[in-house]
Amino acid sequence: DIQMTQSPSSLSASVGDRVTITCRTSQNIGFYLNWFQHKPGKAPNLLIYGAANLQSGVPSRFSGSGSGTDFTLTISSLQPEDFATYYCQQSYNTPRTFGQGTKVEIK
């Protein structure tokens, strides 16, 4: 199975801050990396697919980059509605493993 290492596990940030979350995989997955946002009591929401493609309806302050084994999710200017937990997920093969999550909290 492909192992996912996401960091940090949590962070505190202020509205307007630039936030970066990283995801490392245990083997080369090309661009088969997706990012999700999850708020308590809600369904997870797809943000980025194929490492860098913004899902329709997702604000442009979200962006993804990387390939191979190292990936990044960036929020250029954190907004109040962005406080949530973020997960990376590889879709290169099955089982389609998730990172352990990054909880973004208000500073």
Q: Which residues bind another protein (CB under 8 A)?
A: 1, 31-32, 34, 36, 38, 42-46, 49-50, 53, 55, 85, 87, 89, 91, 94-101
Identity of the residue, 66 or 99, whose beta carbon is nearer to another protein in the bound complex = 99
Q: Toward another protein, which CB reaches closer, 19 or 99?
A: 99
The DSSP letter of residue 30 is T
Distance between CA atoms of residues 91 and 40, nearest Å: 24
| Closer by beta carbon to another protein, 15 or else 90 | 90
Rounded to whole angstroms, the Cα distance separating 13 from 28 reads 31
Least separation in angstroms between CB 78 and another protein: 21
Query: According to DSSP H, which parts of 3-68 are helical?
Result: none
Asked if 73 and 88 touch (Cβ cutoff 8 Å), the reply is yes
Work out how close the CB of 106 gets to another protein at its nearest, in angstroms, rounded to a whole number: 20
Give me the residues paired with residue 102 across strands.
86
Q: How far is the CB of 16 from another protein (least distance, A)?
A: 27
Give the pairing type, strands 33-38 and 53-54. unpaired
Residue 14 vs 42, nearer CB to another protein: 42
